[in-house]
Every structure is written in structure tokens, then in C-alpha cells.
Amino acid sequence: MKLSLLQRKKVLAIVFVFCTMTIKAQTPAAILDLVQYKNRVEQKNDTLYVVNFWATWCKPCVEELPYFDSIATTYNNQPVKIILVSQDAKARALQVAQFMQKNKYTAEFFILSAGNPNVWIDKIEPKWSGTIPATALYKNGIKVDFQEGDFPNLKALEDFIHSKL
């Protein structure tokens, strides 16, 4: 059975759309070191950077991600930027990207791989014991707040952000 050019194009288009819908992300998460992390979040502008430390396998982290995703939507007209900093192993960069895609999370994300945690934890926040989840707020180039532990609900996260908007 011979297909016309138009029919062939239609078939190709359908197959293409089907493939892109079912294919998982092929671009792994970016991996940043501490200098790159600081350059990203310590920017001298009035944007409030809401930086969450999480990992795909961390149950309390994963449970609060929808709150961060919701903030990204609610505040999309305001200078608020959500950044999800994964503590997954570098070898899992692709899985991290696939996790974000599967859950349709739109926030910016990357893996922070900064060497010896005993050195870099204190460089981010000396009060931080190193457990995840943890959330930092940055504005005008400096850290303005930090919380270790999860947010029990969306309101708790909104209250945390509001105080620094």
C-alpha cells in the first residue's frame, strides 16, 4: 500500500509526538560545585532565591516538593525563584532529571557536588547539621534565612518566604 507524501508526513508526525511523550529525559541534571552554586544564588538583585536541599530518595524531601512547585506557580509574577539543589550521587544525574520530568516539576534544579561535606556544609550555613531537607533564602547576594527540616504544609513554606519578600 503506497502512502501519499501527505499521509507519510502525518504518520511521521504522530509517531514523533508519541515518541516524545513516552521517551524519558535524556539530558542529565547539571552538576555544580560550591563556587558555581554561590554564583547562582548570591546574585545582587532583588529576586528572592528559595533554595531547597533534597534528594530523590529522601522521603520527607519528596513529600514537600509539591509545595515548592506550587510556590513557583503562585509567585511567577514576583521576583521569587525556586532552586532545587539535589544531594543525589553524581552518577544519578539522569535519574534526577527523569524524576523532575515524571513529576512535571518546573523549578530549576541541579546536583550540588562540592567535595568534603565537613567543609562545604559550614560554608553554606554553620548552623546546618547536614540533614536534608533544608531550605535557604538568598536575596541581594546574601543568605537571609535558613531552615533545617521539612515544611509540614504549604502555608508553613509560604510564611517562611513571606517574611523575606
CA angle 34, 70, 64 (to 5 degrees): 65
Strands 31-32 and 108-112: parallel
Q: Single out the segment in contact with another protein by CB under 8 A; choices: 1-9, 21-29, 64-72, 118-126.
A: 118-126
Q: Single out the segment in contact with another protein by CB under 8 A; choices: 4-12, 36-44, 72-80, 109-117.
A: 109-117
CB 135, min distance to another protein, A: 14
Q: Which of 10, 14, 18, 122 binds another protein (CB under 8 A)?
A: 122
List the interface residues with another protein, window 2-61 (CB under 8 A).
Answer: 55, 57-60
Q: Is the dihedral of CA 122, 130, 138, 41 positive or negative?
A: positive
Q: For another protein, which is the closer residue by CB, 19 or 126?
A: 126
Q: Tell me the C-alpha distance between 122 and 99, whole Å.
A: 28
